[in-house]
Amino acid sequence: MKTQINGIGMTSQRTRERMVERLRKEGVRDEVVLGVMASVPRHIFVDEALAHRAYEDVSLPLLLGQTISQPYAVARMSELLRAGGPLNKVLEIGTGCGYQTTVLAKLAREVYSIERIAPLLDKARQHLREMRTLNVRLRHGDGHAGIPEAAPFDAILLTAAATHVPQALLQQLAVGGRMILPLGTTEQYLWLIERHAEGFVETKLEPVRFVPLVAGTA
């Protein structure tokens, strides 16, 4: 049965609007990001049995131990990446089911996204087709390496927690660019890294919980 994009009942537009009101109360201020969050049907990115929980502010399970990030994390990271202005070329590390990818695609001119787990990438590709998202280029590969041939990127977003900042990704960040990533193992924090002509500036933000960034492909 084909998933209904608009949704009904617990997957309806009204439910998405309630989610956006909750995001406002939780401190997300960027109205462009909030508008995109209201427009993207999160329920199509999760298993049909979990669709009724799609707009709760929780992460939900995907294939092979992966998760779809909670709406607050998606909105907050997108807001930090945008910093109040338009996005041009974005690199996403960890495509997952394609939900954050779709949000980014509505905020940026073009998005490159890399995923290490092939079956998950196939699902994401299917979801992006269903959403008629045309400005995303997907890649099966190790996120630590990024996509050097498409660099530089004016924004880089990691959707899994790294133990350290991958050097290859720093080199692929344009001067004037911003990287948002979760860092840590038992304790994780969101970090903002800004590249200036004279070097990098790192800012520690709020505590988060993400699946780990794993090397290699599967």
Q: Which of 12, 59, 69, 78 is catalytic?
A: 69
Q: At what angle do helices 99-107 and 31-39 cross, to 10 degrees?
A: 130
Nearest-angstrom CA–CA distance, 134 and 111: 10
Which residues, 6+ apart, have CB-to-CB distance to 183 below 8 Å? 161, 162, 163, 164, 165, 189, 190, 191
Active site residue 69: yes
Q: Tell me which residue of 198, 203, 152, 148 sits closest to 181, measured CA to CA.
A: 203
Beta-bridge partner residues of 191: 181, 204
Tokens read off for 169:
């990704």
Residues annotated as part of the active site:
69
